[in-house]
Amino acid sequence: MHNFETVHDRRKTRSVKWDNLTALYGGEDVLPMWVADMDFQSPRAVIDALKNRAEHGIYGYTITDASISKTVSNWVEKRHGWRIKPSWLLYSPGVVTSLHMAIQTFTEPGEQVVIQTPVYAPFYNVVTAHDRKIVENPLLEENGTYQMDFEHLESCFREGAKTMILCNPHNPVGRVWTKEELERLANLCQTYDVLLLSDEIHADLIHEGYQHIPIASLSEDVSKRTITFLSPSKTFNLAGLQVSYSIVKQDDMRQQLQETFSKQGFHAEYDGSLCNGSRLYGRRGMAGRSAGHIGNQSEADGRSIG
């Protein structure tokens, strides 16, 4: 059983969350809640894997072998009901890194990219850093929850936006988009031939009674026009280890994205010791229990996510 009750002092560990308080807020008497970086320890399997790898004593170049991609694809199917092929996977240091690469690969300077505000702040830079234009499709707050404004979204597509960054589940409003909502969005993307870049990094942290649905799993057409971005970093508190993966079904799109990765000087390879199927991605324990623990705390504070 994972321990969610022990308080760990993370100060003086070069933590961006805890060792940057004075620089960010002008003092130390602050609870930093601005970043999705949990104060729970990672699973024992991760700690043991890192220890075992470190004890080898040689830290040369690594590869991502077939067992890693098979393990990841098994997790996606078992956790989210989406059967993917290991060959659809690309690896990178992070989801934001991959979003930058995708914008460079599949859009041109001056083109419009839709984001649904309020949204994860780095989405803005993902678009503007490459001289693309942000088109905001603000979410609507109704009865204490947020909904998509589909009429406004259709007008964005009608006026020329051909790319959209979807946040599913949505950060920061906490919505787990329903199948009906995602199908309506997918139909609009099909009608107006829109590319979907779907950030699904929080997919594993879902409250009981809700189900994450990868938008690319809805149909063949949606899967062909979607790139899905995921990572174990939020689920298992591994953000500092710099690893994520992209799911790209279309061979030509995957090749184009891989070429952009290479042009930026990095190769989509990493040490897969943390993704040993029997040690990390083969287990659902921490993912489910951390979501439940967060859910209990949210209810106690009068907040909800779902």
- Work out the average pLDDT over 99-123: 98
Digit-coded pLDDT (tens) for 189-229 = 999 999 999 999 999 999 999 999 999 999 999 999 999 99
Residues 6+ apart with CB under 8 A from 273: 49, 50, 52, 53
- CA 297 centroid distance within chain: 23
Place of tokens 């799993």: 217
Residue 17 contacts residue 10 (beta carbons within 8 Å) = yes
Q: CA-CA distance, 203 to 232, in Å (whole number)?
A: 10
Task: Please report how the helices 251-263 and 95-106 are oriented relative to each other, as an axis angle in degrees rounded to 10.
Answer: 110
Residue 148 has pLDDT above 90, yes or no: yes
Residue range 242-296, pLDDT digits in tens:
889 999 999 999 999 999 999 988 765 554 545 543 355 555 555 655 555 555 5
Strand partners, 133: 112
pLDDT at 36: 85
Percentage of the chain beyond pLDDT 90 is: 73
Q: What is the pLDDT of residue 46?
A: 87
Predicted local confidence at residue 304, as pLDDT: 38
Nearest-angstrom CA–CA distance, 32 and 21: 8
pLDDT digits (tens, 9 = 90+) for 43-100: 988 899 889 989 999 988 888 888 889 999 999 999 999 999 999 999 999 999 999 9
Is the predicted pLDDT of residue 133 greater than 70, yes or no? yes
Pair 116, 139: CB distance under 8 Å: yes
